[in-house]
Amino acid sequence: MIKVLDLFCGAGGATVGFQRAGFDVVGIDVNPQPDYPGTFIQADIRDVTRLTLQGFDYIHASPPCQRNAAITKGTNQHLRHRYPDYYPLVSRLLTQSGLPFSIENPVARADMVLCGEMFGLQVIRHRNFELGNWTASAPTEPKHRGRVKGMRHGVWYEGYYYAVYGCGGGKGSVPEWQSAMDIHWTNNRKSIAEAIPPAYTEYVGTQFATRTMGVAA
């Protein structure tokens, strides 16, 4: 079985996707993750070394995106200094490891861009995936089914999709977010908002297994 290390694992959105692809996953995060669905190690990324990565076949990382998120570059630009940028550290560590890897982050090289509509989810949630030491292509992106539901500049819009972040503007309920993201093992609103849908890494994992191992995971 392919063994994966999930850095910045949070509550386990990426982890569950790799698990669904048939992988054995260990998660690392600096914060306690009581809802994490697997083997969890609490550690700071600055304490992770190439030695830590030994014994794994694949590394995934989702460094916090707040510093480079669109809202932080725009409306909340005055808060940008509060958020560290871990991408350079992570990119260097994973590249030096020599292992195949993926990095999900706004500034990651967009080798693969995934969208919830590709997997029939009620979120759009485009995410960049940088692939190291292997290659794959994203599925074709279907046409979006209308707007994102919620309040925009004082006007309420109906829509098929949910905006899974924040609390204002008519954001969905926790059960609606769980359904939209296909995340049902936690009801922590912040954890869901910070996660990526498991479908994304299930696709990444399946592509990795079939393209590099020659078999389904």
Domain that includes residue 95, residue range:
3-213
| pTM higher than 0.85 | yes
Task: Give the number of other CB atoms < 10 A from CB of residue 45.
Answer: 18
pLDDT at 17: 98
Q: Cα 207 vs. chain centroid, distance in angstroms?
A: 16
Per-residue pLDDT band for 216 (boundaries 50, 70, 90) equals: very low
pLDDT digits (tens, 9 = 90+) for 165-176: 887 767 889 999
Does the pLDDT at position 201 exceed 60?
Answer: yes
Task: Say which CATH number the domain at 80 has.
Answer: 3.40.50.150
Q: Cα(158)–Cα(59) distance, rounded to whole angstroms?
A: 39
Does the pLDDT at position 79 exceed 80?
Answer: no
Per-residue pLDDT band for 217 (boundaries 50, 70, 90) equals: very low
Q: Is the distance from CB of 134 to CB of 212 less than 8 angstroms?
A: yes
**Degrees (nearest 5) of the Cα angle 188, 191, 197?**
115
Structure tokens at 105: 């982050």
How confident is the prediction for the chain on average, in pLDDT?
Answer: 90
Does the pLDDT at position 127 exceed 50?
Answer: yes
Q: Cα(143)–Cα(99) distance, rounded to whole angstroms?
A: 35
Report how many domains make up the chain: 1
Pairing of β 24-29 and β 127-132? unpaired
pLDDT digits (tens, 9 = 90+) for 129-164: 999 999 999 999 999 999 999 888 888 889 999 999
Q: Looking at 21-25, 66-70, 123-127, 133-137, which range is the least confident one?
A: 66-70
